Amino acid sequence: MKVHKILNNNVIVTLNNSGKELIVMGRGVGFKKKEGDTIDESLIEKQFSLSNQETFPKFAELLSEIPIEIITVSEIIINYAKTIVGEKLQDSIYISLTDHIHFAIERHKQGFDIPNGFLWEIKKFYPKEFKIGEYALNVIKQRLNIELPEDEAGFITFHIINAQLNDTMPNIMTMTKIMREILNIVKYHFKFEYDEESLTYQSK
């Protein structure tokens, strides 16, 4: 395994047996290396090979700028999400979620947490995905010793939904608004209050 590109001291790009680019991470794996040098495989902590080669350059750039600890946390969350949703997530999740978590942590450290105006709807309409968001907050707390607010679980949920639908965030928010308005129309037309904790309501 040889160095193909050097992104920083901890992230390099190599080629697999098929000639496709492979991202290799590890503390000091790229230190004092140059293109063509042999990689010390004992230093390798993680490897990434994305099926979407258009996504690869953006992901490589992101990895060169974000600490390994956050990348590891993001990978743990994504792997867990795949087991929960039971389907393949778009490769873009590696970019969007990792970038979001990094930015959210930096904001939190500066005291700028953003309220999530859709948190109630997210909990009700996407309970399975929201559990992933809650799991994400626990992983971040345990591994990085940073306790993000529940609002961030909602934002992370949006990224998971987005990766399932391969849709854009604004469209998902629009879909959530529509579902909320439909429930309101039914509520006021028939003049009754929903039992939001009932199984019937939560299964809608």
**22 falls in which pLDDT band (50, 70, 90)?**
confident
Query: Which residues in the chain are classed under CATH 1.10.1790.10?
Result: 66-204
Query: Which residues in the chain are classed under CATH 2.30.24.10?
Result: 1-52
CB atoms within 10 A of CB 30: 24
pTM above 0.95, yes or no: no
How confident is the model over 136-176, as pLDDT tens digits? 999 999 999 999 999 999 999 988 988 886 555 555 666 66
CATH architecture of the domain with range 66-204 = Orthogonal Bundle (1.10)
How distant is the alpha carbon of residue 33 from its chain centre?
31
In this predicted structure, what is the pLDDT of residue 203?
38
Handedness of CA 132, 22, 41, 8 (dihedral sign): negative
Over range 3-31, report the average pLDDT: 86
CATH code linked to domain 1-52: 2.30.24.10
In this predicted structure, what is the pLDDT of residue 49?
76
* CA dist list (Å): 60 to 48, 70, 101: 9, 14, 17
* Closest C-alpha among 20, 22, 155, 165 to residue 92: 165
Place of tokens 């503390």: 27
